[in-house]
Amino acid sequence: MKVHSHRQYRRHTGPAAVVIALLVFMWTSTVLAAELSGRLIIVSSFPETVFDRFKSAFEAKNPNLKVHVRSKKTSAAISFVQEAKAESVDLLWLSAPDAFEVLKQSGHLAQAFEVPVEKIQKIGGYPIDDPAGYYRGFAVSGYGIMWNRAYLDRHGLPEPQGWTDLRNPEFMGHLGISAPSRSGSMHLIIETILQGQGWTEGWATIMEIASNLATVTARSFGVLDGVKKGRFGAGPVIDFFGLSAMATDPAIGFTYPDNTVFLPANIAIAKARQNPEAARAFVDFILSSEGQRILLEPEISRLPVDHSIYESVERGYPNPFEEKLIRKGITFDTELSRTRYHLVNSLFDTMITYRLRAYTNTWRVLREAEVVSSKKSNSFELAQLKQARRLLIRVPVSEEQANDPNFSKEFVRRKPGLPVPVRQVELEQEWTNFALVNQSKALNLSQKIIDNSSADNPVLQ
């Protein structure tokens, strides 16, 4: 075997060799850049402030590639991918992990990743990457409550610290929420409350929170905008809404309540992708150190999955891998959430979204009756008011039914102009009747107490 001397080696690495190496590097870089060309179609539920930053950075690295983002709420994104005929999708980029499970089950995701089981991180006991290789986690999503301090101060309201705080009568007319049927992040919040508190008590919390609503917005962005602009005082949101708003507005506050959840936000390559190389490169970019650091920019304010990134963040920035936040999270059953996904959304809309004004008005009368009754010691009235409350927080579906796949499979997402299963229509009508009867009974019980009090005290008439 021939061995070169150090002098010979130096001669081969002289100026000419350096020039040749530089030309080879430039040629290789050009070829690599040219490899990623054409279009990359991404369906995302994230706001423009998130996807535009990544889109611009990725296009700058790949000048021959054009990235197109189709902004869809989670439920619409699922339908778009499952039903798209005119346009193939390369990437799915969403917050809700149960949405990826839905698409995996329906066969719309490519099994594109190989992550050794022993290297899969977990958050709250939940794997950040899909062990089967259908999607990767690029960030951690937490869920909590944001508020506008100026609004709360103006109305003499405290800063809410937990889900049950939002049940307090003092918040009546001061909260906003988005419909879980239109927001994947809100669906996860509703499921978190149900799983953390149990089906019966969870719905009691949700129904009483609903009694304090000023509005149900069409998208989760509506809660963010409503709180920032002071249209209402507080509302449940995904954490990066609250954190990014706090970074730019000192009036905004946010907290992770106990019994919240920390889950991966995922990205997946669609089975029908047209540009797999670009799709894979985009995933690699988001998971790179550069991509993970972009998540920390104030207007994005997301939680990276790369633990090392937190070593250089400012003091006070939330780290979901630290014990104090881990203790706040529940172990989330994504399979259960997936199984009853459309049932929970349909139940929320039937009981709350479609009846909001009548529902909040009934609670207003009930609370007035409670104030009137509190000035007396009448055990009969107290029993009547407790009954009225029970009527208003009940839902017409048992936990056993909700957890039964044979029952929950009757439900699909409602889409404009398209029919839903006959059985779903029948059940939703039964639920509507259930709500009408119970609210009517609660209203009559409450109004009687107010009327009797007025009769006993003519000054109040």
Chain segment 252-265, per-residue pLDDT in tens: 999 999 999 999 99
The answer, yes or no, to whether residue 295 has pLDDT greater than 90, is: yes
Please write the tens of the pLDDT for every residue from 91-118: 999 988 888 988 999 999 999 999 888 8
Phi and psi for 249 in degrees, rounded to 5?
A: -140, 110
The answer, yes or no, to whether residue 22 has pLDDT greater than 70, is: no
Q: What angle do CA 291, 292, 298 make, to 5 degrees?
A: 100
Q: Look over the chain and give the mean of its residue pLDDT values, rounded to a whole number.
A: 89
Please write the tens of the pLDDT for every residue from 348-383: 999 999 999 999 999 999 999 999 998 887 889 999
Query: Average pLDDT, stretch 386-404?
Result: 97
The answer, yes or no, to whether residue 156 has pLDDT greater than 90, is: yes
pLDDT at 25: 42
The answer, yes or no, to whether residue 31 has pLDDT greater than 50, is: no
Beta bridge partners of 424: none
Asked if residues 447 and 365 have their Cβ atoms less than 8 Å apart, the reply is yes
Q: How confident is the model at residue 55 (pLDDT cuts 50, 70, 90)?
A: very high
Tell me how crowded residue 144 is: count the other CB atoms within 10 A of its CB: 24
What is the token pair recorded at 168? 């307090």
What fold is seen in the domain 148-261+334-460?
D-Maltodextrin-Binding Protein; domain 2 (3.40.190)
Distance CA 441, CA 319 (A): 48
Q: What's the number of CA atoms in the CB half-sphere (13 Å) around residue 235?
A: 33
Distance CA 234, CA 162 (A): 12
Length reported for the chain: 461
What is the token pair recorded at 437? 């009867």
Q: Which of 6-10, 30-34, 299-303 has the lowest mean pLDDT?
A: 6-10
Which CATH class name applies to 6-140+262-326? alpha beta
pLDDT at 86: 58
Residue 98 or residue 302, greater confidence:
302
> What percentage of the chain carries pLDDT values higher than 70?
91
Query: Average pLDDT, stretch 284-299?
Result: 96
The answer, yes or no, to whether residue 159 has pLDDT greater than 90, is: yes
pLDDT at 457: 63
Give DSSP secondary structure letters for 403-419: T-HHHHTT-----TT--
Tell me how crowded residue 321 is: count the other CB atoms within 10 A of its CB: 16
Please tell me if the domain spanning 6-140+262-326 has the same topology as the one spanning 148-261+334-460. Answer: yes
Return the domain boundaries, the chain. Answer: 6-140+262-326, 148-261+334-460
pTM: 0.84
